[in-house]
Structure 1
Amino acid sequence: MPELISLIEEVRTCTLCSEHLEHGVRPVVQLHEKAKILIAGQAPGRKVHESGVPFDDASGDRLRDWLGIDKATFYDETQIAILPMGFCYPGSHKGKGKSGDLAPRPECAKAWRKALLSKLERIELTLVIGQYAQAYHLGKRLNVTETVKAWQDYWPDCVPLPHPSPRNNIWMAKNPWFSENLLPKLKLEVARILSS
Structure 2
Amino acid sequence: MNPKIKNIMKKSFNIMLIGLALSIVFVPEVKAYAQQGLMKLGFFQPKLELPAEITGNANEPKLVKESNFKMSFVDAKGKSLSLEELKGKVVFMNIWATWCGPCIAEMPSIQKLYDKFKDKEDVAFVILEAESNKDKAVKFMTNKKLDLPVYFPIGNIPSEFFRGSLPTTVIFDKNGNVAHITEGMADYSGDDIVDFLNEVRNMK
TM-score of the superposed pair, with normalisation by structure 2: 0.32
TM-score of the superposed pair, with normalisation by structure 1: 0.33
Give the number of the structure whose residues are more often strand, by fraction: 2
Larger Cα-atom Rg: 2
Give the number of the structure whose residues are more often helix, by fraction: 1
